[in-house]
């Protein structure tokens, strides 16, 4: 075998490979013999079909199998001898294959980028944390009160704050005045907010009322399929309900869980809120740290890895869409992949960056740490098996490497935080809400609606991921 290594870019290389004819003929003989022993051909006994007939009758299949066999056997041998490590399936861009002749093929593939780390010691960071105060606890109590409220049908007309169940038919009109396809939505539940045009148009309606009206959607409408269009609505009111809120007292606390009184519920909320606030602050701190490091370095990433990351996003998004009772086939996947392209690139870059940082700091995950993580998982989920049994099952599923990758990432961040100068600041409700709004505006968090070819009609969107969607796991680089 002969080979020539060619560098196309810092993350893309190719191998020109020549396979001697002796190996080519061996592959042809092996594959034609196998086919002749299994194929059924009228006029020949099974296993007695001449190889010459096989070559004539099944030429395309034979050549395809021979090519796959030679590529599989000689590409990886050539890459090993050339000292390169492909991280993608080879793309065969040229192939010459005939019996009694040397085979020639050109295989292109991605390789990991070479990364020079920036100075990562002594970085200045600000840890922004929501202060857990009485206002936040009271806010959580009211949320719990609303979530546990009982719903009661009422005879009153639609009014702000009530829950309305309705059937919707939505017909957008193009600029030229021609109607688009009418979309129907059954049993839609809307909490009436008089500030929203659709909701305002329903105020005053009774159960069984049928309303028809047209709304002009602005160019800034969050529902992109309706933005800037005139939309005709046909609405049938099915039910009008109100939330009946329980009084927040000791009885409310006992109904909410194993709490003796209201104070014990508040204590539990404070503990949970503190843990949540810490996780949120650390997540934001990790994202800020990675942003700072990415600003200090520049390297090319393999396109294959970006596409794989986008595949992961699509799987997650499809599951989320299905969980909301919608058909993933309605998603404009091309638009969604374009929307998440920069996220995917950032995630892959972060993966390579974290891996290089972990290697430089010589961070390794011990088997003891893995066992401790599995035991925590078992305790939290009350799994009544032995550690050995659970570990064996995780190993069979290939999940141990994921656990090690997550633990190593946590250790890398811990080390980076040790090397950084971190100032912790606490934010009240107003300041924290302003921070979230600034992040939302900057990030333009994705929503279900822009990628759904049969969007909801009320112009509202559901977040598909939170503001910490950025990848911060070194596993993306593997």
Q: What is residue 120's three-state secondary structure?
A: coil
Co-location of 212 and 293 in the same domain = no
129 and 164 both lie in a single domain: no
Residue 469 lies in a domain: yes
Do 374 and 422 sit in the same domain of this protein? yes
Same domain, 201 and 335: no
270 and 240 fall within a common domain: no
95 with 203, same domain: the answer is no
Specify whether 161 is located in the same domain as 59. no
Same domain, 402 and 287: yes
- Give the DSSP per-residue string, 328-364: GGGB-HHHHHHHTHHHHHHHHHHHHHHHHHHHHTT--
pLDDT at 321: 81
Last residue of a domain, one of 210, 244, 278: 244
Domain of 231? 150-244
Residue 420 lies in a domain: yes
* Residue 259 within any structural domain of the chain: no
Structure tokens at 175: 């600029």
Judge whether 442 lies within some domain. Answer: yes
- 303/435 same-domain check: yes
The CATH number of residue 10's host domain is 3.30.70.1050
Whichever domain contains 169, its CATH number is 3.10.50.30
Q: For the chain, how many structural domains are there in total? A: 3
Shared domain for 334 and 201, answered yes or no, is no
Contacts of residue 36, Cβ cutoff 8 Å, sequence gap at least 6: 47, 48, 49, 50, 51, 53, 54
**236 and 313 together in one domain:** no
Yes or no: say if 386 and 375 are a contact pair by the CB < 8 Å rule.
no
pTM above 0.85, yes or no: no
Q: Are residues 302 and 451 in the same domain?
A: yes
Domain harbouring 359, CATH code: 1.10.3120.10
- Per-residue pLDDT of the chain (478 residues), as tens digits, is 999 999 999 999 999 999 999 999 999 989 888 877 776 766 666 656 677 777 777 888 899 999 999 999 999 999 999 999 999 999 999 999 999 999 999 999 999 998 899 999 999 999 999 999 999 999 999 999 999 999 999 999 999 999 999 999 999 998 888 999 999 999 999 999 999 999 999 999 999 999 999 999 988 877 777 888 999 999 999 999 999 999 999 999 999 999 999 999 999 999 999 999 999 999 999 999 999 999 999 999 999 999 999 999 999 999 988 887 778 888 889 999 999 999 999 999 999 999 999 999 999 999 999 999 999 999 999 999 999 999 999 999 999 999 999 999 999 999 999 999 999 999 999 999 999 998 887 765 444 444 444 333 333 322 333 333 334 456 443 3
Residue 258 falls inside a structural domain:
no
């Amino acid at each position: 075998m002969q080979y020539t290594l060619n560098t196309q870019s810092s993350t893309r290389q190719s191998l020109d490979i020549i396979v001697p004819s002796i190996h080519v003929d061996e592959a042809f003989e092996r594959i034609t013999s196998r086919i002749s022993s299994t194929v059924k051909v009228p006029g020949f006994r099974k296993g007695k079909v001449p190889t010459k007939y096989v070559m004539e009758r099944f030429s395309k299949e034979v050549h395809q199998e021979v090519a796959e066999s030679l590529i599989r056997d000689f590409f990886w041998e050539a890459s090993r001898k050339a000292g390169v490590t492909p991280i993608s399936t080879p793309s065969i861009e040229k192939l010459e294959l005939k019996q009694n002749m040397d085979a020639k093929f050109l295989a292109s593939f991605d390789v990991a980028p070479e990364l020079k780390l920036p100075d990562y010691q002594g970085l200045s960071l600000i840890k922004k944390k929501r202060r857990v105060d009485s206002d936040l606890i009271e806010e959580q109590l009211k949320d719990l009160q609303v979530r546990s409220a009982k719903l009661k049908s009422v005879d009153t007309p639609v009014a702000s704050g009530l829950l309305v169940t309705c059937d919707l038919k939505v017909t957008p009109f193009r600029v030229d005045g021609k109607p688009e396809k009418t979309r129907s939505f059954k049993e839609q539940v809307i909490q009436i907010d008089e500030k929203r045009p659709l909701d305002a148009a329903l105020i005053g309606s009774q159960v069984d009322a049928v309303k028809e009206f047209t709304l002009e959607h602005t160019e800034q409408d969050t529902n992109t399929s309706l933005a800037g269009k005139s939309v005709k609505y046909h609405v049938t009111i099915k039910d009008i309900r109100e939330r009946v809120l329980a009084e927040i007292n000791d009885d409310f606390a006992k109904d909410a869980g194993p709490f003796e009184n209201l104070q014990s519920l508040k204590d539990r909320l404070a503990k949970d809120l503190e843990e949540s606030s810490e996780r949120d602050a650390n997540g934001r701190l990790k994202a800020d740290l990675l942003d700072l490091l990415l600003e200090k370095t520049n390297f090319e990433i393999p396109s294959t890895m970006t596409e794989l990351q986008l595949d992961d996003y699509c799987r997650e998004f499809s599951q989320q869409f299905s969980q909301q009772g919608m058909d993933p086939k309605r998603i404009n996947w091309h638009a969604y992949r374009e929307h998440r392209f920069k996220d995917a690139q950032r995630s892959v870059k972060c993966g390579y960056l974290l891996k290089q940082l972990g290697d430089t700091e010589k961070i390794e995950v011990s088997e003891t740490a893995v066992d401790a993580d599995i035991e925590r998982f078992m305790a939290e989920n009350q799994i009544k098996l032995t550690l050995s049994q659970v570990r064996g099952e995780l190993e069979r599923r290939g999940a141990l490497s994921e656990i090690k990758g997550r633990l190593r990432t946590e250790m890398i961040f811990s080390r980076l935080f040790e090397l950084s100068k971190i100032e912790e600041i606490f934010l009240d409700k107003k300041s924290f809400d302003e921070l979230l709004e600034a992040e939302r505006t900057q990030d333009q968090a994705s929503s279900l609606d822009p990628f759904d070819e049969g969007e909801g009609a009320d112009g509202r969107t559901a977040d598909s991921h939170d503001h910490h969607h950025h990848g911060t796991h070194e596993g993306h680089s593997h």
